[in-house]
């Protein structure tokens, strides 16, 4: 599938040895953030998605965003509207806010 009109955001949560971080890349510009070593990959990936969407929220609408993640558990958690996970809840609020200003997000 092709998304020529979308801004692409790639996310990752690599864990090498004892070091944990999350990474996102928007149109070739990569940002990475060091987090607690005890942070799960699931949480790190949610933080990457949230951070990516937060960064893109500063762009002018209308806008189409495609978030690309290789961690399906995080994407499934975001699809669950009644999630009790606080990061998922923050993502839901952000997604609602983005849609209200004509920023369409595809996960």
Rounded to whole angstroms, the Cα distance separating 9 from 46 reads: 13
* Residues of the chain above pLDDT 90, percent: 88
The CA angle 11-68-105, to the nearest 5 degrees, is 110
Residue 15: predicted pLDDT = 80
Q: What is the DSSP letter of 66?
A: E
pLDDT for the residue 3: 86
CB environment 23-38: b (16+ within 10 A), e (fewer): bbbbeeeeeeeebeee
Tens of pLDDT, residues 94-106: 999 999 999 999 9
Q: How far is CA 58 from CA 1, 61, 63, 98, in A?
A: 27, 9, 11, 10
pLDDT-based confidence at 9, cuts 50/70/90?
A: very high
Total-model pTM: 0.94
Convert the pLDDT of each residue in 19-70 to its tens digit: 899 999 999 999 999 999 999 999 999 999 999 999 999 999 999 999 999 9
């Amino acid at each position: 599938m092709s998304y020529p009109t979308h801004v692409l955001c790639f996310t990752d949560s690599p864990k090498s040895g004892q070091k944990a971080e999350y990474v996102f890349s928007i149109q070739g510009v990569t940002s990475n953030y060091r987090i607690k070593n005890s942070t799960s990959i699931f949480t790190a990936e949610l933080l990457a998605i949230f951070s990516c969407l937060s960064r893109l929220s500063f762009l002018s609408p209308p806008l189409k965003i495609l978030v690309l993640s290789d961690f399906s558990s995080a994407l499934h958690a975001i699809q669950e509207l009644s999630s009790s996970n606080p990061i998922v809840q923050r993502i839901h609020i952000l997604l609602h806010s983005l849609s209200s200003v004509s920023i369409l997000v595809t996960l």
